[in-house]
Structure 1
Amino acid sequence: MATTVQQNGQVRFGITEPISLGGPTKLDVIKTKALEKYLQDAGLYETNEEALRREEVLGRLDEIVKTWIKKISRDKGLSDETIEQANAKIFTFGSYRLKVHGPGADIDTLCVGPRYATRGNCFFGELHRMLSELPEVTELHSVPDAYVPLMGFKLNGVSIDLLYAKLPLWIIPEDLDLSKDSILENADEQTVRSLNGCRVTDQIFRLVPNIQSFRTTLRCIRFWAKKRGVYSNVSGFLGGINWALLVARICQLYPNALPNMLVSRFFRVYTQWRWPNPILLCSIDDEGSYSLGLQVWDPRRNPKDCLHKMPIITPAYPCMNSSYNVSASTLRIMTGEFQRGKDICEAMEAKEADQWDTLFEPFGFFEAYKNYLQINISASNVENLKKWRGWVESRFRQLTLMIERHTYDMLQCHPHPRGFQEDSRPLQCSLFMGLQRKQGVPAAGGKPFDIRRTIEEFKNTVYGYMLFVPGMEVSVSHVMRRNIPSFVFPGGVRPLRKSKGTWDSKRSSEERVSSTGSSSTITSLENKAVKKRKLGDDETLTDQSRNSKRVAVSVHLEKGEDGSPNSSVESICSAPMKDDCSKGAGESHLVEKKATPQASHCQESEEVEDNFGFRNQVVKQVSVSAITSNGSSLSNGAVEVEELEDVLVQQPVVTHKASVQQRKPIIKLNFTSLGTTNAKNIRAC
């Protein structure tokens, strides 16, 4: 697979011309040093002692697998010569291989073994037994049924995730090169997926113009993503490899820029990106690749690929979408975070904000919404809780997809990327999901959303766990913001009031002021109600007007209703896959704007080519019919909903007669003026 292109005596990285070839200014050098110092002070770099310790642990792991493979070869009755030459080799990948890991981070490792060392009996059998008998190995657990099977453990206190790849070779050479496509010949699917991590990492190194600038920028973006709550592949956001590919693409577009500028351009580019156009570091259909018939990501041939919301394609054969977990809700959240990052970086360039702290302000998840779902996970012992929690967390994103599907994307979800545990309840932990109405959906005049069936479907999916044992329980309940349990807050102390003085709080205040026009109708109705009460005309008020607690949800979104960037903004998209995808009206190109020597590189043109081929191939969301509770179907139409503040997803609670309280309405949809049709799920590419 090609990595670079030679053109006019210069090396071009990526599949398009760079946006700017401008080099750094003196101010960029100063700000980059300030950024590096900030990252250093934030504790993102490990000490020399810890780095040495990791190298020693990897050396010990290599000794273990070499001892293991010789034992396997003896047990198989192989010849003395084969036993003497028997070898297994350890490779690293992920954040450790990219050198962007922080203190205490896991090391992603791959064990490559010969053809006679099977994954089942040999790797998850004999090697697991050997590791369990070593005193320096703790917290050993196997996940043989995962999409990418692995063993996890701690070796001398260092966390290791170990994958296995069985190659069709009798002898594994010490100088084995995993980057060659021929290594995949006759390999099974699990081996191909296990090798993918190392092969993608190797390709990234070949496809970025400046590795040091790439590493610093990626370290910054990873830190930002974790602070803003969008670093979690399992929750439907992006994981380590996804962020690495996004940063690598920016490095290709600005090959001579320093991390200060690359961070700024990262947010500028991805604010304008027209998803689902894919991120490509190199061409997928490379004529020089060693074609082995493995399926690659291609929406022109694979209908399922049309459904991906935010495709970020791995550069190693077979090229796959590394971000298939992203949903409509999580994409909307991330595009909003890109916009926030862009605004802050522009303010920093305008010297309105001269500190990086603003960019890395933690996201106030439990202040952002009025309604939340709380998913409680419990088990009978610590070991079962660990397994059960991992399974439920792996299914958590399915709840987002179910709610989106059952409410026709009118109820938007924001899953929190990590769980919380109360000290007084060691056998229970909780996941949380924020809920809000989609912009443009009326907040009054109809019935609330009903997601009880959705919750039951999710629970049925979760209880399908193959390793389920009695005592494993999961419950889902609706929690208002004011009733969020205190153990989710730092130190277990609930803040007395909302955070003030932060960028988010200031922007929220500005947005509320700017949105007064859109909420004028609501304000007018409230004022009229107050006036009628003063005039003694209460009998003319409706029940809903009398209920002072029922107010419309007012959520300001800078994006369109579908969460995509404004169409008036020029998009920056990847070049197409070969010529058949490159044709389209208004074809444009990556152009560098001419500027005077005194002009800053911030003035480069953002006119880039649009991927018309892929845009025409991606799935179009077609309205589907709704199913009523009695099995009949209703065609999609206008939806009226009430304030989301009253949400109930549990079964009705029987109250004592002595303390009967008014029951809050459930979240349910009300379809008005709808005709009956046959229910169909229509998808088009």
Structure 2
Amino acid sequence: MGSSGAGHRGSGQRLGITDPISLSGPTEYDVMKTLELEKFLQEAGLYESQEESLNREEVLGRLDQIVKMWIKSITRAKGLDEQLVQEANAKIFTFGSYRLGVHGPGADIDTLCVGPRHATREEDFFGELHRMLSEMSEVSELHPVPDAHVPVLKFKFSGVSIDLLYAKLSLFVIPEDLDVSQDSILQNADEQTVRSLNGCRVTDQILRLVPNIQNFRTTLRCMRYWAKRRGVYSNVAGFLGGINWALLVARICQLYPNALPNMLVSRFFRVYTQWRWPNPVLLCEIEEGSLGLQIWDPRRNPKDRYHLMPIITPAYPCMNSSYNVSSSTLRIMSEEFQRGNDICEAMEANRADWNTMFEPYAFFDAYRNYLQIDISASNADDLRSWKGWVESRLRQLTLKIERHTYNMLQCHPCPCDFTDKSRPFHCSYFMGLQRKQGVPVNEGEQFDIRLTVDEFKHAVNIYTMKKSGMEIYVSHVRRKNIPNFVFPGGVRPSRPKSTWDMRRATELRMERSPESKAVLNVSAEDGNKRRREDSDPNPGYPIRVGCPPAPSLEVAEVGLTTVSTASLPSIKGYELHDNGVGELGTRMVENAGSENSKEVENLAIEKISAVPYVESQSLTEELESDVGYKNDPNEIPKSAKNSNFVSLTSDVGALSTSSGKVSNSPASLCMEPGPEELEVWLDDLLPFVVFHLSEQICSCYCLRCTCFLHVDFLFYLFREAC
């Protein structure tokens, strides 16, 4: 099932930086569930029709003709000789979802125009080519974005959305058979050209590094759809974009080269639920290269040490494609990975199906408090430009709130925008807010983020292309006051439907309250209260980094975990070996029995995901240079120690939390305290030792193990774990 990949895949050459976890082929169950998955994706409308496919090919062919006309025109205009005018050439390449073969109906096509050295980006690409396109009847919604990190021309051509980048090579003539995968084309290229070329180079390299392209495509199509349904598909919002999901799926395909999509989806969640971020995901070794371009390397580049979820591109120069991820969005994605893993296990027990996996995330039922960001403009063109700018800055609001509240107020940005049809040239964005779980609430404690919001609005309003009518408003809104236009059909549902998340939340409450299991009869009042709680779910699967158990036998260190060496030989199918660099490695043994297979597999996953790229990395969230200011990381603010009140100080009122009390302020943020238990979140990892001393918590943070431990384990921590 599924065609093989490139020719070298059958030679036994290893794909990836480690051996596969399993070489097992599909079972009858995998074949059946894969067929069900493919049928589900078809019925979900994820495949375009043959007619639309042909239309895309025609558009790309027409676009290639246009850039060839354009390059000859500017070559003649620059006064170059006629022979060079005749030889002048430009080429169109595709990348992204279209090149990977996972695009759906209506999806845009990521394209790259490659031109010679005399065709400039500013004057010729955004000048002359923009003018030519604007005069064509087939072109609509033409929108240049020259100041973007990767400059782009956005437009629709015969109804097909196009994102067109430009790369200026140091060649006088662009050959028709140009191979952009060769590192030599990067010679003397500027940074914007390198970034533009990397889209094509990374896409082609991914297809070379997966063992089975068809299985990779089906799995990636599934994961992209899942991420969009669960609200974690958006690079600009701090989640993951198309290239990030492609790299994560490709790594799973390397680890399970003979698996069908059903097993690949299951292992995707199993692996990334256990992954020890910020250890990077790599498809191949990072090459230094010969051109001296900067690559991702936290040992040399201080900024790279701040990345929380590094997913490294495989083409030179290797970069972190997920630098936008924040501590809040990493927490949300980790919870979603755990949810997916739970559902996959339930599917194996016939307690769930693919519909359960793809249930949409009920964003407006998940939180009690939200920020609403409204923007407006005078016309459609201005709104399109204003939206692009504001969306690129929304991530900064998340980072500012996290930083100014010392990660005590957690943010969940919704990656979608919403339009109120009664208000022309207007749209809204929403961000869920909740108090960090597992931390006791002190009397009168509150968060005042008015100053934070003011800083964000100031950063947005310095837009150099801002015009009259471009406005932004930020307000605090409670769940019951969420405007109706965000709901399908503009109608607020009477009560949320029963979903996997709600059932799981109820199960977690039962697990956390053992005494509730013994109560078989409840009063009508208690029953109504329970139903109200169940209708207000917030599953909140915690990211725990627990204390390793005190060893009773001689131990061998495997990555960041402690495993008894006495137990390893008794596990069938597990083999210890030296990986060639003096470290303990793991390998799945072919034809191993099924006994303890899951435990064996988890050990192998732990080994692959837990080995750090560098010995010590700072996990503090990075705030870009335009955020404003940075506190001294060596100084622990008093408000971080005694967080009775975090004062930061807009149209947003004081957002506050208090233990069991509701503020009279209409803009106050009141949340119930989370369970007072020892939990750790990735956004706790500050670059200094922090002691939590209270009646509920007595813990210590270890800089090397990146975990909180109860004080009882303090001496063991520094003697053994470190």
* 1:297 maps to amino acid: W
Cα distance in 1 for partners of 2:548, 2:222 equals 29
Task: Select 2:512's aligned residue among 515, 521, 544.
Answer: 515
Matches within 5 A, 1:277-316: 277-285=279-287, 290-316=289-315
Which position in structure 1 is the counterpart of 2:223? 221
Which position in structure 2 is the counterpart of 1:485? 483
Cα distance in 2 for partners of 1:279, 1:168 equals 33
Cα deviations by residue, 1:123-156 (Å, 9 ceiling, x for unpaired): 1111010111111111111001111001011111
Cα distance in 2 for partners of 1:518, 1:481 equals 31
Which position in structure 2 is the counterpart of 1:559? 542
Which position in structure 2 is the counterpart of 1:543? none
Cα distance in 2 for partners of 1:176, 1:429 equals 43
Task: Select 2:603's aligned residue among 583, 602, 607.
Answer: 607
Matches within 5 A, 1:213-612: 213-285=215-287, 290-353=289-352, 355-500=353-498, 502-516=499-513, 557-560=540-543, 587-592=583-588, 605-608=601-604, 609=607, 612=611
Change (3 A) 1:54 1:511: same
Cα distance in 2 for partners of 1:45, 1:8 equals 29
**Bigger shift: 508-517 or 114-123?**
508-517
Contact persistence 2:231–2:415 (CA under 8 A): yes
Contact persistence 2:334–2:543 (CA under 8 A): no
Per-residue deviation, 1:5? 14
Which position in structure 2 is the counterpart of 1:129? 131
Change (3 A) 1:110 1:5: closer
Per-residue deviation, 1:4? 11
Per-residue deviation, 1:352? 1.8
Per-residue deviation, 1:513? 2.2
Per-residue deviation, 1:6? 9.6
Contact persistence 1:512–1:556 (CA under 8 A): no
Task: Select 2:643's aligned residue among 639, 643, 647.
Answer: 639
Cα distance in 2 for partners of 1:467, 1:276 equals 37
Cα deviations by residue, 1:92-140 (Å, 9 ceiling, x for unpaired): 0000000000001000000000111111111111101011111111111
Cα deviations by residue, 1:502-529 (Å, 9 ceiling, x for unpaired): 1111111112222336999xxxxxxxxx
SS in 2 for 1:417: coil
* 1:469 maps to amino acid: K
Contact persistence 1:374–1:478 (CA under 8 A): yes
Contact persistence 1:248–1:281 (CA under 8 A): yes
Per-residue deviation, 1:291? 1.5
Cα distance in 1 for partners of 2:319, 2:592 equals 42
Cα distance in 1 for partners of 2:370, 2:297 equals 37
* 2:103 maps to amino acid: H
**Bigger shift: 601-610 or 211-220?**
601-610
Which position in structure 2 is the counterpart of 1:533? none
Cα deviations by residue, 1:641-685 (Å, 9 ceiling, x for unpaired): 79xxxx996258xxxxxxxx953574599xxxxxxxxxxx96899
Matches within 5 A, 1:91-170: 91-170=93-172
Contact persistence 2:9–2:211 (CA under 8 A): no
Which position in structure 2 is the counterpart of 1:42? 44
* 2:504 maps to amino acid: R
Cα distance in 2 for partners of 1:389, 1:132 equals 21
Contact persistence 1:412–1:436 (CA under 8 A): yes
Change (3 A) 1:639 1:516: farther
* 1:591 maps to amino acid: R
* 2:602 maps to amino acid: E
Task: Select 2:86's aligned residue among 84, 99, 123.
Answer: 84
Change (3 A) 1:358 1:136: same
Change (3 A) 1:141 1:179: same
Change (3 A) 1:649 1:340: farther
* 1:115 maps to amino acid: R
Cα distance in 2 for partners of 1:265, 1:56 equals 39
Contact persistence 1:221–1:243 (CA under 8 A): yes
Cα deviations by residue, 1:206-242 (Å, 9 ceiling, x for unpaired): 1000000000000000000000000000000000000
Unaligned runs of 5+ in 1: 521-529, 531-548, 574-580, 653-660, 670-680
* 1:506 maps to amino acid: R
* 1:171 maps to amino acid: V
Cα distance in 2 for partners of 1:187, 1:4 equals 30
Which position in structure 1 is the counterpart of 2:713? none
* 2:86 maps to amino acid: E
Cα distance in 1 for partners of 2:220, 2:537 equals 35
Cα distance in 2 for partners of 1:208, 1:172 equals 30
Change (3 A) 1:56 1:648: closer
Contact persistence 2:371–2:430 (CA under 8 A): yes
**Bigger shift: 7-16 or 156-165?**
7-16
Per-residue deviation, 1:498? 2.0
Cα distance in 2 for partners of 1:259, 1:39 equals 12
Per-residue deviation, 1:599? 7.0
> What number of residue pairs does the alignment pair up?
612
Task: Select 1:197's aligned residue among 196, 199, 218.
Answer: 199
Per-residue deviation, 1:480? 0.6
Contact persistence 2:653–2:665 (CA under 8 A): no
Per-residue deviation, 1:270? 0.2
**Bigger shift: 510-519 or 133-142?**
510-519
Contact persistence 1:649–1:667 (CA under 8 A): no
Contact persistence 2:454–2:650 (CA under 8 A): no
Contact persistence 2:618–2:687 (CA under 8 A): no
SS in 2 for 1:589: strand
Cα distance in 2 for partners of 1:116, 1:626 equals 42
* 1:54 maps to amino acid: R
Contact persistence 1:72–1:122 (CA under 8 A): yes
Per-residue deviation, 1:78? 1.3
TM-score calculated relative to the size of structure 1: 0.83
Per-residue deviation, 1:383? 1.6
Change (3 A) 1:7 1:160: closer
Unaligned runs of 5+ in 2: 518-525, 527-531, 550-556, 562-578, 622-628, 655-662, 672-685, 689-702, 705-722
SS in 1 for 2:14: strand
**Bigger shift: 245-254 or 25-34?**
25-34
* 1:558 maps to amino acid: Y
Cα deviations by residue, 1:352-381 (Å, 9 ceiling, x for unpaired): 22x210000000000000010000111122
* 2:643 maps to amino acid: V
Cα deviations by residue, 1:65-92 (Å, 9 ceiling, x for unpaired): 0111111111111111111111000000
SS in 1 for 2:615: helix
Cα distance in 2 for partners of 1:156, 1:566 equals 59
SS in 1 for 2:601: coil
SS in 2 for 1:169: coil
Contact persistence 1:594–1:604 (CA under 8 A): no
Cα distance in 1 for partners of 2:93, 2:208 equals 18
**Bigger shift: 598-607 or 505-514?**
598-607
Contact persistence 2:279–2:612 (CA under 8 A): no
Per-residue deviation, 1:423? 0.6
